[in-house]
Amino acid sequence: MRASPGVMAAVEKLAAAELRSVNAQVEILLREAMARRGISPSDDAPPTDDA
């Protein structure tokens, strides 16, 4: 996935603040954005931690 350095820095800070990996944080952000648009992802449970 490509994103601007500023977006990635913000995701990294958010992930660190919430004690998640960047990958887990990106998935959570994507799921939240999809939910706001009424899009339902597969029935996979969201990650709780990537450690």
pLDDT at 10 over 60: yes
Alpha carbon distances (Å) from 42 to 23, 25, 30, 34: 18, 18, 13, 11
Quote the tokens at residue 16.
């660190």
Query: What residues contact 25, with CB distance under 8 A and at least 6 apart?
Result: 11, 14, 15, 18
Which tokens sit at 31?
Answer: 């799921």
Q: Which of 22-26, 41-45, 46-50 has the lowest mean pLDDT?
A: 46-50
pTM of the model: 0.74
**18 pLDDT above the threshold of 90:** yes
Q: What is the pLDDT, as a whole number, of residue 4?
A: 97
What's the mean per-residue pLDDT of the chain?
Answer: 89
Structure confidence at residue 42 as a pLDDT band (50, 70, 90): confident
